[in-house]
Structure 1
Amino acid sequence: MWYNDLRPDNELTNNRYSLIMLDNKNNYKRLLADKDKKRIITNIVKLREGLLKEIPSKQVDENLLLASWNIKNFGKIKDRTAESLYYIAETINAFDIVALQEINSDISHFKKVLSILGSYWKHTISDITEGNSGNDERFGFLYDSRRVTLSGLSGEIVIPPEILHQHPIISQLKRTPTFTGFESGWQKFSIISIHLHPGEGTNGIDMPTDHQIRKEEVRLLTEVLKKKLARFSSDDRDTVILGDTNLYKEDTDIVQLFHNIGFTESTGLEGKFTNTSLTQIYDRIFFNSRYYFRLNIDENGKQVGGVFNLFNYVYQNTPEVINEYKELMLLHKNDPTTLISDEKFTSYFNRYWKRDQISDHLPVWIEISTNNSNNFLKSKLSKF
């Protein structure tokens, strides 16, 4: 991690150090004052302690930590502070591969996070999905090149016209999914990142409901995947589907479509709320294991994985913490005159401020075993 910007100002008087948090629209003015740095360092220490407690440690030739995170309008929200970018980067650094959704056309914040992470962190990023429904969004993967490499497989999933019904509800997914191949130790697998249609609305007479649109997206996606997986080489057939699926608790019929083509949901994640409000299971991880791919198992027999709630460590919902950000909230809000009491500040902090600073989604993750030598050797022994 690159922490030079967090040095006290008296260490930076002669600009000996390369800095990241500079305002390139205002004569490259530093974005952090000493009081900000003190708060950030204090919170990073707490966040690191939380990550150490909740996320397994990285073990060479033993495991791989895969995460998915929808970072709200990443690049479009201009009031996201330099402070927040440090917390986002620190969280990403706990994993080996992180699939990101909602990266917008402006990737300046994405680049700052990449710079904080350090030179061994690499990335792939898709172009934006054109059209209003695409919302100028793109998908990205960040990965720790000391622990994982690209396998060379990369592409987008587009729905071919021959698999469409005569009168389809949709002709393409709103946001074009991407797939990328990775390799680590014994594991070689592909990851498909998706961001499905949201909502639970009826959308008026003679219009498909949000549920119907989302189900049709998954139906078309699984039709394509069924054919694509059959063509993949044996090395690339172990596949993970992850992202902001926008699947609600009652969307069991949509989940079944994934099951129908051989994908199962990580048991470590099943039923866990993934939005900041802790009310819905929007973000999911499904995998199709055909060869040596497997997830690590905990002492209760569940696959290791979970949801990391970084708001337990930063932007905590306490009067003391909220008071620290009142000045920034007044600058952030379109009409600051409405913030007239502690109750109003608290409401705004929880409903808007912290979600615009970090996200309205929490990162979800799984632990993959990368040491399958015994399984391989035993399978070969049985053939003699």
Structure 2
Amino acid sequence: MPWYNDLRPQSDDKKIDYALIFPSLNNSDRKRIIKDVLDIRADLDEKIPSKNADSSLLLASWNIKEFGHLKERIPESYFYIAEVINRFDLVAIQEIKSGLDDLFIIMRLLGSNWSYTITDITEGTDGNKERFAYIFDKRKVKPSGLSGEIVLWDKLTKDSAIKQLKRSPAITGFIAGWKSFSLLNIHLQPGKGDASKEFRKEEVRLLMEAIKEKLKRQHFWNENLIMLGDTNLYKNDDDIVDIINKTDFREAENLIGKVTNVSETEVYDRIFLNVDKTFFHLVKDENGKEKGNVYKPFEVIYTEDKRKAYHNFMLAHKDDPSTLVSDETFEKYYHQYWKRNQISDHNPIWIEIKIDSTDEFLRSKLN
């Protein structure tokens, strides 16, 4: 469970020298945070399956906005992010920036059962100084040893204007229960215009060609591939999705068509699977449909009814606070900018993978 010493009453601080991450929190802050932590925990209990020891793995993907770059995150936002991550076993993170302070705070809040792997920064203007990370519960998941990037080569790109993806996809192997698999963490070219779409389409085409060639030559550590992340695919990008599907990937069925950005306009964040069809399955619900969904933190935290508690924070963070002159301007800034800079402008997505294949294995041997 996450680390809650910072949420003890201040009187407790004087009894024992507790290690505090946010020593400046007063009792009023702590009380507000505790109430919202309880709210988000109850919401997660209702909307996310319970973690279990043996039978399944909860896998999530989350673009956390400019993580390690934004300076206005207040202490409670880290608690809420940690609570969400803690409800899964393995989380692929996009848009971690050059600074790692935010990541280190989250890891302290998550506690000693958690670990992470992280890529180097993608340098240059196009790379946007971004990293990919995987945060995982060591009690359920262990890295396989595979860790690297998908890098394009000359023969593949000779007829293309693109020589490398702007943000090199991070591929990392994991083992959980019976299952060995590789996660391919991606953050594709953004933008709705024609030029951006054509660039994104070519990124996907080249990536799929690289994957096909590596599969053909058996150059992957494991051939169970899960591609996930912020694809920046728009509703009219079906032709790009077709390129992925033709490489034997399929989109997690319960996520198809579900909007994932906080504005609820686009299906940016996705999970595609290219896995053994006999032994690698997602857990299904009582209706026979694969489990998976979008989780929306702002349904319980930083809601409209709590907005006025953050007016002073907004005034401190706004470049020109004199523009916050009415309740209407506070409301607009709160929902369109401030709270998204606290958590993210993307919602996390998740699936549940079956990791115990005892029955399938025994039946196959019996047959």
**TM-score scaled by length of structure 2:** 0.97
1:31 shift after superposition: 3.4
After the TM superposition, which residues 234-383 of structure 1 pair with which residues of structure 2 at under 5 Å, given as runs? 236-290=222-276, 291-318=278-305, 321-382=306-367
The equivalent position to 1:170 in structure 2, one of 148, 158, 162, is 162
The unaligned stretches of length 5 or more in structure 2 are none
1:154 shift after superposition: 1.3
- What SS does the corresponding residue of 2:328 show, helix, strand or coil? helix
1:33 shift after superposition: 1.8
Residue 172 (structure 2) aligns with: 180
AA in 2 matched with 1:224: A
**Closer, same or farther in 2 for the Cα pair 1:324/1:43, shift >3 Å?**
same
- What SS does the corresponding residue of 2:14 show, helix, strand or coil? coil
Q: Supply the distance in 2 between the matched residues of 1:317 and 1:368 (Cα, whole angstroms).
A: 35
- What SS does the corresponding residue of 2:117 show, helix, strand or coil? strand
After the TM superposition, which residues 59-78 of structure 1 pair with which residues of structure 2 at under 5 Å, given as runs? 59-78=52-71
Q: Supply the distance in 2 between the matched residues of 1:104 and 1:367 (Cα, whole angstroms).
A: 28
Aligned length in residues:
365
1:233 shift after superposition: 7.5
1:303 shift after superposition: 1.0
The unaligned stretches of length 5 or more in structure 1 are 22-29, 203-208
Q: Supply the distance in 2 between the matched residues of 1:229 and 1:8 (Cα, whole angstroms).
A: 56
1:224 shift after superposition: 0.8
Residue 39 (structure 1) aligns with: 32
Q: Supply the distance in 2 between the matched residues of 1:304 and 1:212 (Cα, whole angstroms).
A: 33
Is the 2:62–2:94 Cα contact (8 Å) retained in structure 1?
yes
The equivalent position to 1:53 in structure 2, one of 32, 43, 46, is 46
Is the 1:169–1:213 Cα contact (8 Å) retained in structure 2?
no
1:302 shift after superposition: 1.8
**Closer, same or farther in 2 for the Cα pair 1:195/1:235, shift >3 Å?**
closer
- What SS does the corresponding residue of 1:79 show, helix, strand or coil? coil
AA in 1 matched with 2:30: K
1:14 shift after superposition: 5.5
User: CA offsets per residue over residues 169-196 of structure 1, 9 Å max, x none?
Assistant: 3211111111111111111111000000
AA in 1 matched with 2:353: I
Q: Supply the distance in 1 between the matched residues of 2:75 and 2:16 (Cα, whole angstroms).
A: 19
1:75 shift after superposition: 0.7
1:59 shift after superposition: 1.6
Residue 151 (structure 1) aligns with: 144
User: CA offsets per residue over residues 77-124 of structure 1, 9 Å max, x none?
Assistant: 011111101100000000000000000010001100010000010100
Is the 1:31–1:82 Cα contact (8 Å) retained in structure 2?
no
Residue 101 (structure 1) aligns with: 94
User: CA offsets per residue over residues 113-160 of structure 1, 9 Å max, x none?
Assistant: 010000010100000001001111000000000011111111111111
Q: Supply the distance in 1 between the matched residues of 2:345 and 2:218 (Cα, whole angstroms).
A: 35
Q: Supply the distance in 2 between the matched residues of 1:52 and 1:13 (Cα, whole angstroms).
A: 34
Kindly report the root-mean-square deviation, in angstroms, between the aligned alpha carbons of the 2 structures: 1.3
Q: Supply the distance in 2 between the matched residues of 1:272 and 1:169 (Cα, whole angstroms).
A: 32
User: CA offsets per residue over residues 264-306 of structure 1, 9 Å max, x none?
Assistant: 0001111111000111100000001214111011123321000
**Closer, same or farther in 2 for the Cα pair 1:20/1:230, shift >3 Å?**
farther
Is the 1:155–1:178 Cα contact (8 Å) retained in structure 2?
yes
- What SS does the corresponding residue of 2:281 show, helix, strand or coil? coil
Is the 2:251–2:272 Cα contact (8 Å) retained in structure 1?
yes
The equivalent position to 1:229 in structure 2, one of 215, 220, 243, is 215
- What SS does the corresponding residue of 2:257 show, helix, strand or coil? coil
Q: Supply the distance in 2 between the matched residues of 1:187 and 1:46 (Cα, whole angstroms).
A: 34
Residue 185 (structure 2) aligns with: 193
Give the % identical residues. 50
**Closer, same or farther in 2 for the Cα pair 1:212/1:233, shift >3 Å?**
closer
The equivalent position to 2:124 in structure 1, one of 99, 114, 131, is 131
**TM-score scaled by length of structure 1:** 0.93
- What SS does the corresponding residue of 2:254 show, helix, strand or coil? coil
Residue 13 (structure 1) aligns with: 14
AA in 1 matched with 2:192: E
Residue 26 (structure 1) aligns with: none
AA in 1 matched with 2:232: N
Q: Supply the distance in 2 between the matched residues of 1:151 and 1:76 (Cα, whole angstroms).
A: 30
Q: Supply the distance in 2 between the matched residues of 1:35 and 1:309 (Cα, whole angstroms).
A: 26
User: CA offsets per residue over residues 211-231 of structure 1, 9 Å max, x none?
Assistant: 100000001111111122234
Q: Supply the distance in 1 between the matched residues of 2:164 and 2:36 (Cα, whole angstroms).
A: 43
Is the 1:65–1:366 Cα contact (8 Å) retained in structure 2?
yes
